[in-house]
A = this chain, B = another copy of it.
Amino acid sequence: MKLASLKEGGRDGTLVVASRDLTRAVRASGIATTLQAALDDWSNTAPRLNALSEDLNAGTAAGAFALDMHALASPLPRAYEFVDGSAYLPHVERVRRARGAEVPASFYTDPLMYQATSAGFLAPRDPVVVPSEDVGIDLEAEVVVVTDDVPMAATPAQASEHIQLVGLVNDVSLRGLIPGELAKGFGFLQSKPRSALSPVLVTPDELGDAWQGDKLHLPMRTWLNGQWFGEAECGVDMQFSFAQLVAHVARTRPLTAGTIIGSGTIANQDTGKGASCLAEQRTVETLRDGQPSTPFLKFGDRLKIDVTDAAGASIFGSIEQQVEPLAN
């Protein structure tokens, strides 16, 4: 099934089930008012949401209406935890190579992850609002999973059973602020502001063969100002599966229902697939030409992130955002 949240009903929106083709939706009234509430009681709500989804896809759901992507909030407008990974090592390898550094051997066995902000996710068609153009505004197209409750010290096999939803994220990054923050030693803060999830999150069974080994096996399609930017393969060069990433986070803490775990920006060894963030593209250019030629995002720039099925249909809905200045 596919789940989304309308921009109505309060800070957490109103939960709807979306049709497989993303043209219709129906409120989950009587099951759960919000996606967080559904995840809080997932073993009870998931079967009922699934039944509603079957009715919707069969055209028999009462109260179904045309789905307007602009009426959607983020599926989780606010969440309790978002831990983002950096699971595609070609990106890490290239960045290090560009500055003449080695990738530590441990990076191939110990996931690199960071605590990200989850307090607010931008709606999938809402602007990316940034206080200045001079901070190196970048997108990062990634895959995310959402878990229900995961016990502390869960193994990857156990963690796999707790992956309930899959989606996309535009992990907005302010590159100009990153070197200074990382030099302070405590990780990202101002350099990683609010991100945008895809319009819908889907259960792994919706993905069929494209979900195997706790990885998504489809290309991440990105466009900038209407121009093709990349189609890196999400299932290729992902060093750690989502089950491994979830288990890594759960080593010393239980995870609360609704926890979001990100893959990191999709990057392949094959640079012919393009990039999923400007920093990656600029690194490829630096290694090739000695300097980057693609600028970071400016006010007015538009980005699009989408993953489509074999027939070319959007699975999660596309993230489409424009960069805008903070209003005074």
Binding site for B on A (CB under 8 A): 10-11, 40, 78-81, 83, 86, 104, 106-107, 110, 112-120, 129-131, 135, 152-153, 174, 177, 182, 184-194, 248-249, 251-256, 259, 326
**Residue of B whose beta carbon sits closest to that of A194:** B253
Report yes or no: A190 in contact with B112, Cβ–Cβ below 8 A.
Answer: no
Pairs across A and B, CB under 8 Å, 20 listed = A11-B40, A80-B119, A80-B120, A81-B118, A83-B189, A86-B186, A110-B184, A114-B186, A114-B187, A115-B188, A115-B189, A120-B253, A129-B152, A131-B152, A135-B252, A152-B326, A153-B326, A186-B187, A187-B188, A194-B254
Report yes or no: B253 in contact with A193, Cβ–Cβ below 8 A.
Answer: yes
Report yes or no: A186 in contact with B252, Cβ–Cβ below 8 A.
Answer: no
Most chain-B CB neighbours within 10 Å: which of A120, A131, A192, A259?
A: A120
Main secondary structure of the interface of A (DSSP, over half): loop
> How many angstroms between the C-alpha atoms of A40 and B254 in the bound complex?
26
> How many angstroms between the C-alpha atoms of A191 and B253 in the bound complex?
10
> How many angstroms between the C-alpha atoms of A326 and B252 in the bound complex?
10
> How many angstroms between the C-alpha atoms of A115 and B106 in the bound complex?
24
Report yes or no: B40 in contact with A186, Cβ–Cβ below 8 A.
Answer: no
Report yes or no: A119 in contact with B256, Cβ–Cβ below 8 A.
Answer: yes
Report yes or no: B115 in contact with A190, Cβ–Cβ below 8 A.
Answer: no
